[in-house]
Structure 1
Amino acid sequence: MTAEAGAGGRPLAGLRVVECATYVAGPSGGMTLAQLGADVIRVDPLGGATDHRRWPLAPNGGSLYWHSLNKGKRSVTVDLRAPAGKELVTALITAPGADAGVFLDNNVARSWLDWPALSARRPDLVHVHVQGHRDGRPAVDYTVNAAAGIPDMTGGESDGAPVNHVLPAWDLLTGQTAVVGLLAALRHRDRTGEGTYLEVALADVALAGVAALGWYADAQLSGADRPRHGNHVYGSFGVDFPTSDGRRVMVVALTEGQWRSLCQVTGTQEVFAALEKALGVDLEDEVTRYHHRETIAAILRGWFAARDVATVSRELEAARVLWGPYRTATDVVRDHEAAPASSPLTEVVQPGIGRLLAMGSPLRVRAQEVPPRPAPVLGADTDEVLADVLGLGASEIGRLHDEGVLAPTGGRG
């Protein structure tokens, strides 16, 4: 697969990015660039990095995690301890070309891959380095999320312990922040000819995200932690309701119009008008709805409990209420299989595994979907990349295989 193959007019077609990153943040950023048409070359040690076998696994043992995060890239594997292997990777990163010299990594303690060493070879290099903490200490989403204070806001009122989430949200956001920084640095290079070194720490992304919502400022000025409210939306009205067939839906009324629509479809206008009169409040005010959330939920609960989820869906949609069903992962799969034409999900044929549900870029280019491409087989593109980018001949590549700098011919990555 070459840089242009399958690009289909994608905005980053022709750009070449070398990625030396593992787990979620760096690889998700690289995947975003690949989905937009960039030729992203992921470099791993021989046999794969520590994330190559990470769960979840396919029945044959292949990592669904690794293959899902590396869609559309090319894979190169090299002995990263050998001087010849280090030189190959350095040459790939600093190879000439207006659309080359772009590097995304999360390496630790590899001085030969740091900015001073690489920029000495190519001064206009764009290098984005993903960290755990800004001082170089390691971190993962689940540790920085805990330190950011989110688990202490999560869970029911009676929960005594903090509640972690399962989504590595800060990892994913860090990957997208790295992409934004990389593209901004490319614009700077296009205008000035100068290279840029950017660092983005996972812990800083978490702190920035929470601070941007005003939650730290609230704690600072109020002197108190935000209380836990289970599934209630903080500062507004929103909560889950069970339906008659054992399903659940999430309903939110942020605006006056959404609140009026909810009251109208449930036939509770008179009830809430009487409640407003009795309490001397205005429930069209968002903060007032929050303060009386339990009473509001108790009044509405009977309407949902008397209807199955299909009826609730039909009536809420007709009334333009802000709502969503609770679905399991298998529900999402079944819904896709029942109506694939209307689902944003699709399938890719993943070498070594088979047909897998996937999704391309959520960005649509000229109103067209950007379909996903499968991930590479580990190391499958090594010879092609060394020939295309570095101009190595077959005999030289063969010698590198024989010396063990590259995997044995016909062997796995």
Structure 2
Amino acid sequence: MYPLLSGLSVIEASSFVASPTAGLYCAQFGAEVIRVDQIGGGPDFRRWPVTEANDSLYWENLNRAKKSVALDLGRPEGRELLQELVRATGQFITNFPVEGFLGHSKLAEGRADLITVRVMGWADGTPALDYTVNNSVGYPMLTGAGPEPVNHVLPAWDLLTGAYAAFALLAAIQRRTATGEGGEVRLPLSDVAIGTVANLGGVAEVLYSGANRPRLGNAVYGLFGRDFVTRDGQRTMIVVVTPRQWANLIAALNLGDAIAAIEAERGVSFAKDDGLRFDHRDALYPLFEKAIVGRDHADLATAFDAGGIVHSAYRTMADAVQDPALVADNPIFGAVENTSGFAYPAAGAFATVPQIERQPPRPAPRNGQHSEEVLSDRLSLSSGEIARLIDVGIVGTTPTGD
């Protein structure tokens, strides 16, 4: 782990993607993140993909480098223990409902400077998932070529919300350091989604134009960018974002004269204007299709790389994980003993920090693995009291040798 957040402890009570991602990023940078779950695991504990033994590879990777405390949260004593852990620690990440036993005002009764970061669905507290929020902001009606909507498989709003939640936690801690004040940060998926649409100009665009953006398949809106097929059947994506890339692409494909003819016919110059290349794609795409289908992919890739042209062949995820540059030779990955028992490369922190040696990734905990340690350290419970809580089923632990 990076020691950047060394000394920071966070209680996390959450499930699924966004809230666990916030805890994961904090843990990867050195924070002690204590995840508290129901004994036996929360609702995401067996989420697919799973092994034959029904161990979730999803859960295992979203909870690396964390500690695990297992409590019976259906019973008052278990809930009270979680409340006490939050107060004793002072930092809390959750996606539990606003009201209830983990409401911020209730928790802050015993810890006025408590910071809670609460991931939500909608701002009014009603539930939502990435896949339904995405529909609500309109992206599936822009994806594909139509007429039916196309959902993407990447939970982008969950991941953005998780990263924003980690950032918000650190911002709230900085404010508390300056003022002594705690508080609750509420972060709805819906606001992250529509706010991102606004940041990318989407809200202004539809209000200005009075219309939805056209559906373009694999073409990139406002740029020269699209997928093309080479002579040997490889589909590759090409995107141009600078005048130099445009000039080098034309040279690599020997299309200078043909492009000049279109410019003369239409009274335009494509050299420095992304929008014109997009507007006149009806004339440009056929030229590029013909030139690219006449060359093999390896030949084109060499020419494109030499010219600094952005391109990438389409491949499956199974192909991607066999790429040494992405996985085997990538220093974010390392070997670790996984709780599932399946050996595979595990990801650590994505960022590099000068003068700090990159540490290998750490395993995810087993459910309840750190219950006794945390209750002793954080709440100063005696071994006898912890044993009683285990005996009556309030606290769960990992069996010895598991």
TM-score range, shorter chain: over 0.9
1:134-170 deviation digits (Å, cap 9, x = unpaired) = 00110000100000010111111xx211111110000
SS in 2 for 1:348: coil
Relative to structure 1, the CA distance from residue 242 to residue 187 in structure 2 (aligned partners, 3 Å threshold; closer, same or farther) is: same
How far the C-alpha of 1:337 sits from its partner, in A, is 8.7
SS in 1 for 2:287: helix
SS in 1 for 2:351: strand
| Distance in structure 2 (CA, Å) of the matches to 1:341 and 1:77 | 37
Relative to structure 1, the CA distance from residue 84 to residue 411 in structure 2 (aligned partners, 3 Å threshold; closer, same or farther) is: farther
**Could you tell me which residue of structure 1 aligns to residue 238 of structure 2?**
251
**1:111 to 2:100 alignment:** yes
**Aligned residues between the structures:** 400
Match of residue 55, structure 1, among 24, 48, 51: 48
* Contact 1:67 1:375 survives alignment (8 Å): yes
**Could you tell me which residue of structure 1 aligns to residue 180 of structure 2?**
193
**Could you tell me which residue of structure 2 aligns to residue 295 of structure 1?**
283
**1:307 to 2:295 alignment:** yes
**Could you tell me which residue of structure 1 aligns to residue 83 of structure 2?**
90
SS in 2 for 1:323: strand
SS in 2 for 1:165: coil
| Distance in structure 2 (CA, Å) of the matches to 1:409 and 1:264 | 64
> Residue type of the partner of 1:18?
I
Relative to structure 1, the CA distance from residue 281 to residue 307 in structure 2 (aligned partners, 3 Å threshold; closer, same or farther) is: same
* Contact 1:402 1:408 survives alignment (8 Å): no
| Distance in structure 2 (CA, Å) of the matches to 1:214 and 1:339 | 34
**Could you tell me which residue of structure 2 aligns to residue 392 of structure 1?**
381
* Contact 1:153 1:228 survives alignment (8 Å): yes
1:241-299 deviation digits (Å, cap 9, x = unpaired) = 12233222211112212211111111111211121112211112111100112322221
How far the C-alpha of 1:34 sits from its partner, in A, is 0.5
**1:164 to 2:157 alignment:** no
| Distance in structure 2 (CA, Å) of the matches to 1:294 and 1:358 | 45
| Distance in structure 2 (CA, Å) of the matches to 1:112 and 1:297 | 59
How far the C-alpha of 1:103 sits from its partner, in A, is 0.2
> Residue type of the partner of 2:17?
V
> Residue type of the partner of 2:143?
T
Relative to structure 1, the CA distance from residue 338 to residue 386 in structure 2 (aligned partners, 3 Å threshold; closer, same or farther) is: closer
Matched-pair identity in % = 42
**1:241 to 2:228 alignment:** yes
| Distance in structure 2 (CA, Å) of the matches to 1:49 and 1:23 | 9
How far the C-alpha of 1:359 sits from its partner, in A, is 1.7
How far the C-alpha of 1:358 sits from its partner, in A, is 2.7
Within a 5 Å distance, the mapping from 1:202-281 to structure 2 comes to 202-281=189-268
- Worse overlay, 240-249 or 70-79: 240-249
**1:33 to 2:21 alignment:** no
- Worse overlay, 82-91 or 204-213: 82-91
How far the C-alpha of 1:370 sits from its partner, in A, is 4.9
> Residue type of the partner of 1:150?
Y
SS in 2 for 1:205: helix
> Residue type of the partner of 2:82?
V
Relative to structure 1, the CA distance from residue 396 to residue 48 in structure 2 (aligned partners, 3 Å threshold; closer, same or farther) is: same
1:181-233 deviation digits (Å, cap 9, x = unpaired) = 11100001111111121100001100000011111111111111100010110
- Worse overlay, 373-382 or 121-130: 373-382
- Unpaired runs of 5+ residues, structure 1, are 1-6
How far the C-alpha of 1:310 sits from its partner, in A, is 2.6
- Worse overlay, 46-55 or 277-286: 277-286
| Distance in structure 2 (CA, Å) of the matches to 1:142 and 1:245 | 37
TM-score by length of 2: 0.95
**1:130 to 2:119 alignment:** yes
* Contact 2:229 2:236 survives alignment (8 Å): yes
* Contact 2:368 2:397 survives alignment (8 Å): no
- Worse overlay, 255-264 or 34-43: 255-264
> Residue type of the partner of 1:170?
W
Relative to structure 1, the CA distance from residue 83 to residue 327 in structure 2 (aligned partners, 3 Å threshold; closer, same or farther) is: same
SS in 2 for 1:93: helix
SS in 2 for 1:183: helix
Relative to structure 1, the CA distance from residue 316 to residue 104 in structure 2 (aligned partners, 3 Å threshold; closer, same or farther) is: same
> Residue type of the partner of 2:240?
A
Relative to structure 1, the CA distance from residue 68 to residue 195 in structure 2 (aligned partners, 3 Å threshold; closer, same or farther) is: same
| Distance in structure 1 (CA, Å) of the matches to 2:83 and 2:281 | 59
Match of residue 19, structure 1, among 7, 12, 18: 12
SS in 2 for 1:81: coil
SS in 2 for 1:385: helix
SS in 1 for 2:336: strand
Over aligned residues, Cα RMSD in angstroms?
2.0
1:92-124 deviation digits (Å, cap 9, x = unpaired) = 1111xxxx4100001026622111111111101
SS in 1 for 2:92: strand
* Contact 2:368 2:398 survives alignment (8 Å): no
* Contact 2:367 2:398 survives alignment (8 Å): no
* Contact 1:17 1:102 survives alignment (8 Å): yes
TM-score by length of 1: 0.92
How far the C-alpha of 1:324 sits from its partner, in A, is 2.1
SS in 2 for 1:11: helix
Relative to structure 1, the CA distance from residue 317 to residue 40 in structure 2 (aligned partners, 3 Å threshold; closer, same or farther) is: same
- Unpaired runs of 5+ residues, structure 2, are none
* Contact 1:102 1:126 survives alignment (8 Å): yes
